[in-house]
Homo-oligomer: A and B are copies of this chain.
Amino acid sequence: MKLWQKGYKLNREVEKFTVGNDYILDQRLVKYDCIISIAHVTALCDAGLITEEEKKSLIKTLDEIIKLADKGKFMIKPEEEDCHTAIDNFVIEKLGVAGEAIRIGRSRNERIIGSLRLYYVEKLGEIIHNINQLVESLKDFARKYRRVIIPGYTHMRKAMPLSISLWAKSYVESMKDNIKLLEFLSNFLNTSPLGTGAGFGIPIKLDRKLIAQHVGFRSIQKNPLYVQCSRGKFEALLLDGLTQVMMDLNRLSSDIILFSMSEFGFFKIPKELCTGSSLMPHKLNPDALEIVRSKYHAVLAASVQVKSTVSNLIAGYHRDFQVMKEAAITSIDTTIDCLKIMVLFVENLDIDRKKCEKSLTEDLFSVDKLHELVVKEKMSFKDAYRLMAEKHLKKIL
Contact = CB atoms under 8 A, between A and B. Distances in A.
A68 interface: no
Given A170-B315, A233-B174, A272-B9, A156 B261 contact: yes
Given A156-B257, A180-B188, 19 more contacts: A4-B277, A7-B390, A18-B287, A100-B381, A104-B374, A109-B279, A154-B285, A155-B319, A159-B283, A160-B200, A160-B201, A167-B315, A174-B230, A181-B188, A184-B184, A229-B251, A281-B366, A281-B387, A311-B312
Contact of A281 (B92, B188, B392): B392
Interface residues of A, number: 167
Contacts of A298: 305, 323, 327
State the oligomeric state as a number of copies. 4
A358 to B, nearest CB: 11
B286 A155 contact: yes
DSSP majority for the A interface? helix
Contact of A275 (B4, B49, B302): B4
Interface stretch (A32-40, A127-135, A242-250): A242-250
Interface string A211-249: 000000000011111101110110011001001100110
A170 B390 contact: no
Contact of A293 (B18, B312, B363, B367): B312
Contact of A159 (B254, B259, B280, B371): B280
Nearest to A1: B382
7 A-B pairs with least C-beta separation: A4-B276, A301-B305, A290-B319, A3-B278, A6-B389, A294-B320, A281-B388
